[in-house]
Amino acid sequence: MDGMDWPIALFDTHMAISSQIKTYMEWFAPRNDNTPSLTDGTAYIDRFVQMHRRMLLSVANVHTRAISAECNDAIRSIA
């Protein structure tokens, strides 16, 4: 995806934002208010993901629909 704050790439079971690669579950899992602040810049990316959660989930859902029913179900369960 182009035109965002960071380059975003979608894979079968993972999403890369900038240099961070995590599973969809790791990106979109519910967060609590006690999550420690990260000083290496990842906190900004985490905030970006939370701010754009609906759009990123929609794109990930379309991408994974044709790939993996299990991954698609996991994304729907955290939407």
Q: Where are the domains of the chain?
A: 19-31+38-78
pTM tops 0.85, yes or no: no
What integer pLDDT is reported at residue 21 of this predicted model?
92
Q: Residue 79 in contact with residue 27, Cβ under 8 Å?
A: no
pLDDT 10s per residue in the chain (79 long)? Answer: 667 778 899 888 888 998 889 988 888 776 665 555 555 567 788 888 888 888 888 888 776 665 556 666 666 676 5
Residue 41 per-residue DSSP state: S
